[in-house]
Structure 1
Amino acid sequence: MSAGWSWYVIALVALNLLGCVWLLWWTSKRRPGDPKPEDTSHFWDGDITEYNKPMPRWWINGFFLLLAFSVVYIFWYGGLGGYDGYGKWSSAGEHALAKAADDARLDETFAPYKGQPIDAIAQDPAAVKLGQAIFNNNCATCHGSSAQGAIGFPNLRDDIWHWGGSPEQILTTVLDGREGVMPEWGTVLTGMGGDSAVVSVVSYVRSLSDPERSQDYLAVQGQRLYTGVCVACHGVEGKGNQALGAPDLTDDYWLYGDSTAQIGESIARGRHGVMPAWRDMLGETRSRLAAAYVWSLSHPAGSATAPPAAKETGRQ
């Protein structure tokens, strides 16, 4: 706050305090010509009378003491613009002290899991419960409280991972975030194959997870266009590339919806998905706990089997 604004605030505070003092003094003083306390001639309903009695002296003195306390309070805690109070107290300092104390308690709670492997943490029910709490507070906004995601937000309960599903890959995703970009191909494809080019590519992409569609006319036309444009990221067989976040097109999982219109929208206009980095916000240990919880959703404790297939609700 600039000095000019500080003086403006100081003037307002001083005027308000002086105004309160003047008002108390003015209203507590009787003057010549004032009616007697019992003689105002204001009556209602025959027996209700308005009197002109001043407040008791002890009450008025209490107000003066309150104003004096206000002056001391303002000078001690600060209330004069940008100038610190004599006691050097500030809400920011109070918050910093409280945060430091809370962080110390949290560090003590999380210390046993520092640097531990994700899959090892996931075997500890107490750690998984901590990770779930961290997930609910920070991740559920996008992925949902059940972690089943929504359109544009991955389902974390299945076995499909665009950036890799190993413990370390999941931890990297949580710590440093991910940014997946699907370019706009509508104009390019239209130039290569006409107005039906995007629909043809959609038909071919669908045939990768449903071979019965592979002989459709549009799918055959789409394969040529796919080979010329899409293989760089998704591969010749459509298996994707986890290093780029390019999804596997053979698994029938569609992050942005599985209708012809939604897939066509992804191809023609592109997509830009961002997973924020949580390293600075949560720190490494809390990120490990959250990642361990996510990993545990598809790897239940004590299970040596492959993770369950995605539920229909997750294929969005």
Structure 2
Amino acid sequence: MSDFFSDFWSNYVALATLGSILLCALLLWVVARSSAPSGADNTTGHVWDEDLREANNPMPRWWIGLFVITIVFGLAYLVAYPGLGSYKGELAWSTADEYGKDQARAKRELEPVYAAFAAMPAERVAGEPAAMAIGERLFLNNCAQCHGSDARGSKGFPNLADSDWLHGSTPDKIKESITGGRTGVMPPMAAAVGTPEDVKNVANYVLSLSGSPHDSVRAGLGKSKFSACAACHGIGGVGNPAMGAPNLADKVWLHGYGQEAIISIINTGKTNQMPAQQGRLTEAQIHVLASYVWGFSNKAVVSP
């Protein structure tokens, strides 16, 4: 209810809830005090199927008792717990607090498990079967939704199992990416490159850098125009890990391959974001997870 800008809906929910309970109590009181007229045989006079008559018997006392207990319990619950609009209840209980306590308890219980790997370098952790089993579960729960269960990514999501790294492949850089997340922004560059023909020429020059199929004439014309891109991607398009600028001279295409895909990115730009895992994962968990990811494209040091 805190999402609303006024108290109207909070009051509406509170009144509707209390009104419903009070109406139930009123209904019980009215029914208990009223009785249908009955004949000498204690029937109401209603007959079905020729001989089925409705008896005028009072409601069982145990049923009335349960009804009263339910109403009292409902009122007591609404006093103790949230349920009346934005009223938090006398116990101030919330699902967020409960979740936080569960998370804190789980972290305390897991600390001894991670303690064995905390002091190890990532290269050694990647060679520990027990750590890698933990890392695999962390990866599947937190990373596989974007990078795939095999870590090979898909269009727009980097492949973590090859040797192409936007921000560097050292364990510390991987930890940095997991901890704080990444936001990669390439602005629209069409205006800086020139005309639509210039954009097409630059696209062919980019394809030529990796030896991909291209129009050599257009590539030659686009080389000088590539200077607008070299500020981030470097001379020769080899990329810049400090900025997260992709290497254009290999054959790894994060956002699609071919002339049209490159033209589209030059014209419209591209923004990619990896969410930060700090706060969701502990430092020890990030250490194990980074070691697991590092191991996809590197050889682990196995303990003797």
TM normalised by structure 1 equals: 0.81
User: What's the counterpart of residue 257 of structure 2?
Assistant: 258
User: What's the counterpart of residue 210 of structure 1?
Assistant: 211
Secondary structure in 2 matching 1:297 = coil
User: What's the counterpart of residue 198 of structure 1?
Assistant: 199
Kindly state the Cα deviation for residue 302 of structure 1 after the two structures are TM-superposed: 6.0
Kindly state the Cα deviation for residue 148 of structure 1 after the two structures are TM-superposed: 1.3
Secondary structure in 2 matching 1:179 = strand
Kindly state the Cα deviation for residue 269 of structure 1 after the two structures are TM-superposed: 2.1
Name the Cα RMSD after superposition.
Answer: 3.0
User: What's the counterpart of residue 187 of structure 2?
Assistant: 183
Q: 1:33 to 1:155 in 2, by over 3 A?
A: same
2:217 maps to a residue whose letter is Y
Show CA shifts across 1:101-137 (max 9, x none): 2221132332222253222211111111211211222
User: Which stretches in structure 2 are left out of the alignment for 5+ residues?
Assistant: none
Kindly state the Cα deviation for residue 93 of structure 1 after the two structures are TM-superposed: 4.3
Q: 1:221 to 1:74 in 2, by over 3 A?
A: closer
Worse-superposed segment, 23-32 or 273-282: 23-32
Show CA shifts across 1:63-120 (max 9, x none): 2233334444444446556556555655444444333322211323322222532222
User: Which stretches in structure 1 are left out of the alignment for 5+ residues?
Assistant: 304-316
Show CA shifts across 1:214-267 (max 9, x none): 8x21111011211x3222222222212111112222211111111211111122
Kindly state the Cα deviation for residue 160 of structure 1 after the two structures are TM-superposed: 0.8
User: What's the counterpart of residue 311 of structure 1?
Assistant: none
Is residue 35–residue 52 contact of structure 1 (8 Å, CA) maintained in 2?
Answer: no
1:219 maps to a residue whose letter is A
2:237 maps to a residue whose letter is G
Paired with 1:143 and 1:119, the residues of 2 have a C-alpha distance of 22
Show CA shifts across 1:21-57 (max 9, x none): 3322221235484456743332333333333322122
- Is 1:124 the counterpart of 2:125? The answer is no
Is residue 161–residue 296 contact of structure 2 (8 Å, CA) maintained in 1?
Answer: yes
Is residue 37–residue 53 contact of structure 1 (8 Å, CA) maintained in 2?
Answer: no
Kindly state the Cα deviation for residue 289 of structure 1 after the two structures are TM-superposed: 1.6
Kindly state the Cα deviation for residue 164 of structure 1 after the two structures are TM-superposed: 1.0
Secondary structure in 1 matching 2:282 = helix
- Is 1:138 the counterpart of 2:142? The answer is yes
Aligned residues: 298
Worse-superposed segment, 82-91 or 255-264: 82-91
Equivalent runs, 1:139-288 vs 2, <5 Å: 139-190=143-194, 194-210=195-211, 216-226=216-226, 228-288=227-287
User: What's the counterpart of residue 306 of structure 1?
Assistant: none
Paired with 1:195 and 1:137, the residues of 2 have a C-alpha distance of 44
Worse-superposed segment, 158-167 or 265-274: 265-274
Is residue 46–residue 54 contact of structure 2 (8 Å, CA) maintained in 1?
Answer: yes
Kindly state the Cα deviation for residue 178 of structure 1 after the two structures are TM-superposed: 2.2
Q: 1:35 to 1:223 in 2, by over 3 A?
A: farther
Is residue 115–residue 285 contact of structure 1 (8 Å, CA) maintained in 2?
Answer: no
Paired with 2:63 and 2:48, the residues of 1 have a C-alpha distance of 28
Is residue 36–residue 44 contact of structure 2 (8 Å, CA) maintained in 1?
Answer: no
